[in-house]
Structure 1
Amino acid sequence: MSVPDVIPIRHEPDYRTRTIGRWQGGQFFASVTAAFPEGWSGDDWQSQKRWCAVLHQFDGAGRYLDSRIRFTGTTADGEEKSIAAARRLLAEWLDALPERHYQDIAIAPFAFRFEGALFGLVLEEDEEETDGVWAEFYPDGLGFYAPWDGEYDT
């Protein structure tokens, strides 16, 4: 099965896709997540694990428009404090979206780099796998596969 032009993502109110949906300007995928800089060595992971608020916006057809990302602290700074700050910020951003509704979305793959970290829905390929191609949502760690029904693996 080939990869669709837009990847369906199912809204799950009590899980990892609770803050996705549509708004007056199109679609959005929002989350609080941790990101490591690309190429980090694994040393001193607490200072490398950066918590952030993320709001990706897409047009009505699912084409990427823009990303709003702000780091709120590292695990070394205090994980609970950093996550709480990211949640407050994300709530402000979501409250500012006119006519916001949480629901399923379908978006095209995209990649956005912010302060050395990869964000986006990136197509990946593994020739050893039966399905071969999947879409990975970075840095959230959500994998989307055929039959492309909006469900994901973590």
Structure 2
Amino acid sequence: MSVPGVIPIGHEPDYRTSTVGRWRGGQFFASVTAAFPEGWSGDDWHPQKRWYAVLHRFDGAGRHLDSRVQFTGTTADGEQKAIDAARLLLDEWLDALPERQYQDIAIAPFAVRFEGSLFGPVVEGDADEGDERDEEEDDGVWAEFHPDGLGFNAPWNGCYDT
């Protein structure tokens, strides 16, 4: 089974998808998340772990409209301080969405790069196109929501792996 055109994402209150839903203009996925710049390696990771407030907006059909991403600090600057700043900012952005309701969504894959990091649900894996598989069988292809670390795969029911 290949990745569907729109990926269902279940709303889970008080967990990783607690801030997904619909608003008058369509759908949204919001989070406070950390990212390392792509290609970074080394032992001194504290200044490289960057915290962000993120709000992705979609039309009613799940097509990506825009993304707001704002850096709020590094772990070296004080992780809790950066997280708290991101939460405050995200609350402001969410409060500005007219008719906001938290609920399940379904969105198309997309990718946004910001300050050397990847954001969005990106199709990944390496299914063999010529391999005949059962419709319900996982074919090694999934959508990874970066940098949140949420993996969506068959049976594409809105649940995710971390």
Q: TM-score with structure 2 length normalisation?
A: 0.92
Q: TM-score with structure 1 length normalisation?
A: 0.97
Q: Which residue of 2 aligns with 1:131?
A: 139
- Equivalences for 1:25-64 in 2 at 5 Å? 25-64=25-64
Indicate yes or no: 2:148 matched with 1:140. yes
Deviations 1:3-22 (A, max 9, x none): 21000000000110000000
- Equivalences for 1:1-154 in 2 at 5 Å? 1-127=1-127, 131-154=139-162
Unmatched 5+ residue regions in structure 1? none
Q: Give 1:121's aligned amino acid.
A: P
Deviations 1:68-97 (A, max 9, x none): 000000000000000000000000000000
Identity of aligned residues (%): 81
Task: Return the offset for 1:111.
Answer: 0.3
Task: Return the offset for 1:126.
Answer: 3.5
Unmatched 5+ residue regions in structure 2? 129-136
The 8 Å contact of residues 113 and 119 in structure 2, kept in 1 or not, is answered as yes
SS of 2:91's partner is helix
Task: Return the offset for 1:127.
Answer: 4.6
Which one has the largest radius of gyration? 2
* Aligned mates of 1:54, 1:95 — CA distance in 2: 14
SS of 2:28's partner is strand
SS of 2:81's partner is helix
- Root-mean-square deviation (Å): 1.4
* Aligned mates of 1:153, 1:81 — CA distance in 2: 28
SS of 2:72's partner is strand
Q: Give 2:106's aligned amino acid.
A: A
How many correspondences in the alignment? Answer: 154
Deviations 1:35-62 (A, max 9, x none): 1100001332100000010000000000
